[in-house]
Amino acid sequence: MRKPKIHLDTLPPKLPAGEPVGIDIEGFGMTKGRLHRPTGHFACLQIATEKDVWVITDQKQIGKALRLIKKGQWILHHAQFDLRHLRRWGRLSQLLEQPPERLWDTMLVDQLLWGGYYPSSVGFGLDDLARRYMDIPLDKEIREDFETAEGLTQKLIEYSALDPWITLHCKHKQQSELDNGHPAAEGFDYLWNKVEGPMVYVNLDRKGAMFNGKLWEKIAIEWKAKQTELSESVNYNPGSHVQVRAALAAEGVHVRNVQAGTMEELIGRNGGEIAQTRLDYMHAQKRYSTYGLQWLKFIEADGRIYSDTHQIGTETGREAWSKPNLQQMPVRDPGDIVYRKCVIAPKGRSLGVLDYSQQETGTLAYLSQDEALLEAVANRDSHQGIADMMNITRDEAKPVNLGIPYGLSSYGLAQQIGCSEYEADRYMSLYFGTFPDVKTYMTRQRSWGRAMVCQIRMACLCVPLGR
178 or 183, higher pLDDT: 178
d(CA 37, CA 197): 21
CATH code: domain 208-350 is 1.20.1060
For position 411, what pLDDT does the model report?
86
d(CA 352, CA 295): 23
- Check whether 68 has a pLDDT greater than 60: yes
Tally Cβ neighbours within 10 Å of residue 144. 10
d(CA 365, CA 238): 48
CATH code: domain 5-204 is 3.30.420.10
Tally Cβ neighbours within 10 Å of residue 83. 24
Going through 341-421 in order, the beta strands assigned E by DSSP cover 343-344
How confident is the prediction for the chain on average, in pLDDT? Answer: 89
- Check whether 360 has a pLDDT greater than 90: no
For position 460, what pLDDT does the model report?
62
For position 456, what pLDDT does the model report?
52
Fold designation for 359-455? DNA polymerase; domain 1 (1.10.150)
For position 242, what pLDDT does the model report?
95
Which residues of the chain form CATH 1.20.1060?
208-350
- Check whether 451 has a pLDDT greater than 80: no
Which residues of the chain form CATH 3.30.420.10?
5-204
Which residues of the chain form CATH 1.10.150.20?
359-455
Q: What is the mean pLDDT of residues 447-459?
A: 63
161 or 187, higher pLDDT: 161
